A and B are shown apart, each in its own frame.
Chain A
Amino acid sequence: MDQPSPFAIWYSAAHHQVDIKANAQSPTVNHESGDPDHQGVKQLTDTLEGAGYLADRGLATALFIALELGRPLLLEGEVGVGKTELAKALSEIFDCHLIRLQCYEGIDTHQALYEWDYARQMLHVRALSGDQVQDTDAVNRLFSADFLLERPLLEAVRAGNQCVLLIDEIDRADDEFEAFLLELLSDFQVTIPEVGTIQAESPPIVILTSNRTRELHDALKRRCLYHWIDYPTVDQEIAIVKVRSPDVPEMLARKVVTAVNHLRKRDLTKPPGIAETLDWVAALAVVGSTDLDAQSARDTLGSVIKDRDDLTDVFSDIDTVVSHA
C-alpha cells in the first residue's frame, strides 16, 4: 500500500497532530501523556479521577461511548485491575444506586431475575374462602406485585437510569445463564410469563466483568461494548496509589509499585493486581514502616502474594524484589 489511505489524507488536513508511533502497545495512544482531546472523554476522565478512579484513555473512551450509546460495557482483564471498582466509581459520580449481581455456578433466573413468594402464595390460597376462589380478581392477585420477589436484574430494570447495574464475574456462572441475560442486555427488559414484559423506561448503566476463566459466548459479547483492562504503567499506578492512599510518601509508593511490577514479570501463579499494590501499601502503613526493605517486605508479603508456591519462590529471592524498587 504505497498510496496513503483516504483517511490519512483527510486526517492530515485535520488540525490534530498525534505522535502516532509513540506507543508500540496500542498504535495511537501515548498512555502517559495523552490527554483526551474530546471534551466528553476528558470530562469523564476528570470526573472519575474526582471519585478516586484513574482511567486511561482507552477505558475512558470505551466508557464514554457506552454511556453515550446506552450500551452495556463488558470489562475483561487480569485479577485486581479495577473492573469492579469502576462500577462503584460510576455509581458514586452519577450519585445513583449500585445494584450488584455476583455470579456463581448454578445461578438461575430465580436468583437473578425474579421469584414468586411461593410460601405466601400458598398461605393466601388457603385463606381464601370457597366463594373467593371463584373470583378471578382474587386469583389474579396471587400473581401481583405483592407476591413477586425482586432480584437484582428486575430491580435494575425497574430503576432504569437511576442505577448502575454491575454483573460481576459473569464467567463464574455456567454458560446456560448467559442466555438469560441476552434479553436484558439488548432491550433492557425482562419477561415474566405471569405478568408480561417489563421494560426499563430508560436504560440503566450496565457493567459486566469477567476474569476470563472461560470464553464468554459471542451472543453475549455482541450485545456489549468490550474493553480489555491492562495493568497500568508504573507512573499511572503510582498516581493510583497516591489517589487511594494520600498519606503515603511518593518514595514509598514508587518503591512498592516498582516491586509489584517486578513481581508481575516473574512467573507467578497469581500475579498481583492493583488491588494488591494498594493492600501492600496499607499493610506497610499498619506495621509502621516508611521504607520498603527486605525485612518489611518479608513481614508484609502476605498482602501481595497469595499462593504458597509463589510465596516460597519470592521469599527466597526477596532481595532481588526489593533491589528493583
Chain B
Amino acid sequence: MHDGAPVVKLLVHFGRELRNEGLPIGSDEINNFCNAVAVLDPGDVDDLYWSGRATLIARRDHISIYDRVFRRFFLSERETESDEKSPPPSPTTTHAVLQIPDSEIEAKSGSDEEESALGLVASDAEIARDKSFAACTPEELVALRRIMARIRLTPPMRRSRRRCTDGARSRPDMRRMARETMRMQYEPPTLFWTGRKLRVRPLVFILDVSGSMSDYSRNLLQFAYSSKRAAARVEVFCFGTRLTRITTALDLSRLDDALADATQLVSDWDGGTQIGQSIREFVQHWGRRGVSRGAIVVICSDGHDRGDPSVLAEALEQLSRLSHRVVWMNPHKGDGKIFHPNTLGMTVATRYVDSVVSCHSLRSLEDFAARLPEFR
C-alpha cells in the first residue's frame, strides 16, 4: 500500500466501528480487508466498499448494517432515518399480560426444605393434572408449569444418508473388513455391515397467542420452551394476526428470561386471529426455505379464524406438502377419543392435518409427548 500506516489505521477503525454495531468481526477479517484494499485502489470508494463487503461480511442480513456504517464512516453522511437501523424488536405494552411462572431458581436451589415444599406442590399438581388449564387457579398453574418443564420430548427419527457400522446391515463394510483382514494376519475376512444412521426429525411449533387462546397460550409457550430444551432441533413461532419467530428468544437458559424475551417479540398478544394468513406467512418465509422439511409441525390453536377459510385451506395444503407430519393441538378437543370440529377453521384444517390432539391439560400434553415418537 502506498502511504501505509494512516490508511491501515483508518481501515482498522472502520472494522471496529462495525464491530461496535454488533457484527462478528475479528482481527483476521480486518487483516483480510486491509489486504484486499491493498490489491485494489484505496482511493476509490467503490473499491473500498466492495472489498469491505467481500471480506468483512458473511451474511446477507449484515449487508444493511454494513451499508449504514460505511456511509457514516467514509462518506460522513448523517443517518437520516432512525428506522434504517434494524431496530431491536420494540417492546410492546402488552407484554405485561404474560403471567410468568415463578422463578425456577427457587425450585433449583436445593435445600431440603425447599425440596419438600416442591414435593408438596407437585402432589397438588397431581390432582390438577387432568384439570383444564382454563379451570386452574394461578397456584395450580404455577405448579403445573414446573412439572411441564420436566417433560422431555423425543421427536421421531428418520433414516439419514449417513452410514454407520451397526446399522440395519444393508451394505458390507469394506473399510472395516479390509482393516480387519490386515490386522488378523491376512485371514479371510469376517463379514461386517453398515446401515443408515438415524437422525432426529426437527420439530416446529406454531402457537396461537390470540385472545381466544389466552387461557392456554402461556402454558403452551412454556411447553414449547421445555421442548426446545429437550429436543435437538426445535423452531417456535407465535401468531395472532401476524407470525413472529421466537426460537432465538427461547435459547436463553433461564426460563423467566426466555419467556419474557419471547413475549416482547410478539406484538399481537391476546389480539385477533388470522390463522390462514399466519400459516401462509410461515410457508412463504420459512417453510419454503426448508425449515419444515422432514419436520413434525405442531400447530396449537382452537381454530377460531377471522380470516378467509380458503386462505387457511391453501396454506395448510402447502404446509402439509412441505413437512413430514402436521399435528394440530386443540384445547377444545378435550379428552374424548372422537373429535367433532367446532369451528370453521378446524373443519377446514382436519382435511390437511395428520392428527388432532388435545392440549387443554397437563395430562394431554404428557400424552402428546408420549405419542410423539410414533409420528414417523
Contacts and interface: CB of A to CB of B under 8 A. Distances in A.
B51 A61 contact: yes
B182 A142 contact: yes
A28 B67 CA distance: 9
Contacts of A106: 160-163
A50 interface: no
A309 interface: yes
A226 B318 contact: no
Contacts of B185: 133
A212 B182 contact: no
Interface string B18-37: 00000010101100100110
B180 to A, nearest CB: 10
Interface residues of A, number: 71
B32 to A, nearest CB: 7
Interface in B1-47: 6, 10, 24, 26, 28-29, 32, 35-36, 39-41, 43-47
A38 B45 contact: no
A73 to B, nearest CB: 8
A269 interface: yes
A122 B51 contact: no
A147 B178 CA distance: 12
A28 B59 CA distance: 20
Contacts of B28: 222
A3 B36 CA distance: 27
Interface string B119-140: 0000000000000000000000
A84 B367 CA distance: 49
A231 B253 CA distance: 40
A249 to B, nearest CB: 34
A6 interface: yes
B46 A7 contact: no
A78 B107 CA distance: 49
Contacts of A61: 40, 46-47, 50-51, 54
A193 B174 CA distance: 18
B374 to A, nearest CB: 24
A126 B40 contact: no
B282 to A, nearest CB: 13
B32 A8 contact: no
Interface stretch (A10-18, A86-94, A153-161, A297-305): A10-18
Contacts of A142: 182
A80 interface: no
B290 A213 contact: yes
Interface stretch (A113-121, A239-247, A288-296): A113-121
B160 A37 contact: no
A218 B24 contact: yes
Nearest to A119: B174
A29 B49 contact: yes
Contacts of B24: 218
B49 A27 contact: yes
Contacts of B75: 5, 8, 20, 27-28
Interface of B: 6, 10, 24, 26, 28-29, 32, 35-36, 39-41, 43-51, 53-55, 57-60, 63, 67, 70-76, 78, 160-163, 174-175, 177-178, 181-182, 185-186, 189, 284, 288-290, 314, 318
Task: List the 7 shortest-distance A-B pairs measured between CB atoms, nearest first.
Answer: A106-B161, A61-B50, A62-B54, A221-B58, A118-B174, A14-B43, A118-B178
19 contacts: A1-B78, A11-B43, A14-B44, A29-B49, A29-B50, A34-B46, A37-B46, A40-B40, A41-B40, A61-B46, A66-B54, A118-B174, A125-B186, A126-B186, A133-B186, A142-B182, A222-B26, A222-B28, A309-B318
